[in-house]
């Protein structure tokens, strides 16, 4: 499972280049199954969720060649429309393949998608939208856990989402590519990663507009070809490192990131006394000489609101730099599990169903804590770096789902963190026992 061992109290300062965004890369990789010919993706993050997506693409008959952050995908030989259940469970983003397989093959067989355990995460909005497009969706007669989706004849239509779900917006954009006529998705999610998906589809010969505005129009019936595409920078990774550096009293220069995508975090940090300079394609942030003090209530909301994916890292940061403030989670109903681990490290916080109240002026102490999901795990690493003493963060596999070369980047900024694999450790202990 792997454990990060952290020595707290070091100031993290320096320059970093943001990696490609997980939440942009995964839907684009899923979209690539609609295309024929070669795609070359640059800045594809080296994370385990991308590894899982590559395994799924290969199982469907796509050719995938990886060279570091460059990925070549050719889906011309796609031969399968059934996603193996064990791969489906690997991550949430496997669900996007329903839309893209439907567009490419007229059929998809899926099961419940996996992903971090941060709430119920149903797929009813996806299903309702696909049905409105004309898809026939039933439980498989062979296996009640499998869902068989058949396109029949998909027709463009007006869709109004009950909630601006990121995944449902992306899935429906993909399915609508093969629908006859025009599809309009109202109340669609507005995240930058949706705009990035639109850009990719259009580069491949598709006809999509409106992403980012809340109303997306897809003219269907186009055949897509491959293209070269650079994955946009990861705003969540950038936000995580900003909080990590400022949390330890350091300064950071992040290259490759659009400051606008981090607006709610930047505003919150500025109000607390941090110095932030925005440049065209980079952001500089410094804790400054005065102590940072953030107060008030920070609530998560769909983009352009405060991102739920930075909520745990912000809470960890506030345990040291918050003055009687509240963090409210409005997207997922089970996203405070990490907070109990922060209490183990001495955090003076109160957890309720939707809120964490931070009493302020905390000192954190190193401890032995367990990551239970991706962003919660990153929050515990931030806490460990800010704490007095040594911290062990167990279950690094969750963190590796979404952060590329995490420990290496922290070390490059002056943080003391090393990783050991528990299996390695166990086998070393066994060897020791055998020789004594
Ligand atoms: C995506 C992101 C994830 C981020 C989230 C919210 C990817 C790969 N993941 O996840 O990192 O935290 O957006 O910004 O891009 N919901 C339903 N029914 C549905 C779909 C969603 O009730 O059919 C609910 C969810 O349970 C949740 C809320 O809507 O409470 C938001 O979910 P959604 O926007 O779909 O998130 P994901 O696409 O899963």
Residue 167 is given by DSSP the state H
Whether residue 309 has its Cβ less than 6 Å from ligand 1: yes
196-254, pLDDT tens digit by residue? Answer: 999 999 999 999 999 999 999 999 999 999 999 999 999 999 999 999 999 999 999 99
Q: Is the peptide bond before 296 cis (omega within 30 degrees of 0)?
A: no
Residue 204 is given by DSSP the state T
Whether residue 311 has its Cβ less than 6 Å from ligand 1: no
Cα–Cα distance measured from residue 13 to residue 414, given in angstroms and rounded to the nearest whole number: 7
**Which residues, at least 6 apart from 413, have a Cβ–Cβ distance to it below 8 Å?**
12, 13, 14, 16, 241, 244, 245, 250, 252
Whether residue 123 has its Cβ less than 6 Å from ligand 1: yes
Nearest one of 101, 53, 112, 51 to 78, comparing CA atoms: 101
Nearest one of 192, 205, 266 to 231, comparing CA atoms: 192
Predicted confidence at residue 404, as pLDDT, reads 96
Q: Is the pLDDT of residue 426 over 80?
A: no
Cα 193 from chain centroid (whole Å): 10
Least confident window among 242-256, 277-291, 338-352? 277-291
* Sign of the dihedral defined by the CA atoms of residues 58, 94, 198, 184, in that order: positive
Give 422 Cα–ligand 1 centroid separation in angstroms. 32
Predicted confidence at residue 58, as pLDDT, reads 96
Least confident window among 121-130, 315-324, 420-429? 420-429
CB 291 within 8 A of CB 323: no
* Ligand 1 site-directed mutation target among 27, 53, 130, 167, most atoms within 8 Å of CB: 167
Q: Quick one: pLDDT band at residue 421, thresholds 50, 70, 90?
A: confident
> Pick the residue with more confidence: 7 or 292?
7
Q: Quick one: pLDDT band at residue 434, thresholds 50, 70, 90?
A: low
Cα–Cα distance measured from residue 73 to residue 29, given in angstroms and rounded to the nearest whole number: 8
Give 21 Cα–ligand 1 centroid separation in angstroms. 16
Whether residue 24 has its Cβ less than 6 Å from ligand 1: no
Dump strand ranges (E) for 314-371.
Answer: 322-328, 349-351, 355-358, 368-370
Residue nearest atom 28 of ligand 1, based on CA coordinates:
331
Whether residue 163 has its Cβ less than 6 Å from ligand 1: yes
59-108, pLDDT tens digit by residue? Answer: 999 999 999 999 999 999 999 999 988 888 777 778 889 999 999 999 99
Nearest one of 396, 399, 337, 343 to 118, comparing CA atoms: 337
CB 197 within 8 A of CB 170: yes
Cα–Cα distance measured from residue 208 to residue 211, given in angstroms and rounded to the nearest whole number: 8
Q: Is the pLDDT of residue 436 over 90?
A: no
- Dihedral of CA atoms 368, 374, 380, 383 in degrees, nearest 10, equals 160
Q: Which residues are the active-site residues?
A: 116
Residue 182 is given by DSSP the state E
24-60, pLDDT tens digit by residue? Answer: 999 999 999 999 999 999 999 999 999 999 999 999 9
99: which 2 tokens?
């839309």
The tally of CA atoms less than 13 A away on the side-chain side of residue 91 is 26
């Amino acid at each position: 499972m792997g454990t990060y061992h952290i020595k707290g109290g070091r100031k993290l300062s320096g320059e970093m280049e943001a990696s490609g965004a997980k939440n942009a890369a995964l839907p684009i990789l899923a979209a690539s199954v609609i295309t024929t010919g070669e795609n070359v993706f640059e800045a594809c993050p080296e994370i385990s969720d991308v590894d899982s997506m590559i395994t799924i693409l290969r199982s469907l008959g796509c050719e995938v060649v990886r060279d570091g952050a460059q990925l070549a995908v050719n889906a011309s030989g796609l031969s399968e429309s059934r996603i193996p259940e064990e791969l489906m469970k690997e991550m949430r983003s496997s669900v996007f393949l329903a839309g893209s397989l439907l567009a490419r093959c007229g059929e998809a067989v899926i099961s419940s998608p996996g992903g971090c355990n941060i709430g119920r995460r149903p797929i009813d909005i996806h299903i309702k939208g696909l049905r409105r497009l004309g898809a026939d969706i039933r439980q498989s007669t062979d296996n009640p856990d499998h869902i068989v989706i058949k396109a029949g004849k998909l027709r463009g239509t007006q869709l109004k989402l009950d909630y601006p779900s990121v995944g449902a917006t992306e899935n429906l954009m993909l399915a609508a590519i093969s629908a006859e006529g025009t599809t309009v998705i109202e109340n669609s999610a507005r995240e930058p990663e949706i705009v990035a998906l639109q850009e990719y589809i259009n580069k491949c010969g598709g006809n999509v507009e409106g992403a980012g505005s809340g109303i997306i129009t897809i003219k269907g019936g186009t055949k897509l070809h491959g293209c070269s595409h650079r994955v946009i920078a990861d705003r969540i990774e950038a936000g995580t490192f900003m909080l990590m550096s400022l949390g330890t009293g350091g300064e950071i220069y992040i290259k490759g990131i659009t400051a606008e995508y981090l607006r709610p975090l930047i505003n919150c940090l500025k109000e607390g006394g941090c110095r932030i300079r925005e440049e065209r394609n980079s952001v500089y942030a410094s804790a400054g000489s005065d102590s940072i003090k953030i107060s008030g209530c920070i609530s998560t909301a769909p983009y352009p609101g405060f991102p739920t994916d930075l909520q745990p890292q912000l809470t960890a940061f506030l345990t040291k730099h918050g003055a009687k403030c509240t963090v409210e989670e409005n997207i997922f109903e089970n996203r405070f599990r990490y907070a109990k681990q922060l209490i183990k490290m001495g955090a003076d916080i109160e957890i309720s169903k939707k809120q964490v109240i931070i009493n302020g002026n905390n000192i954190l102490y190193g401890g032995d804590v367990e990551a239970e999901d991706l962003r919660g795990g990153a929050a515990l690493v931030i806490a460990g770096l800010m704490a007095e003493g040594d911290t062990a963060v167990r279950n690094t596999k969750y963190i590796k789902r979404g952060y590329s070369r995490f420990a290496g980047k922290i070390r490059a900024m002056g943080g003391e963190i090393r990783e050991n694999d528990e299996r390695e450790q166990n086998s070393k202990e066994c060897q020791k026992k055998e020789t004594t």
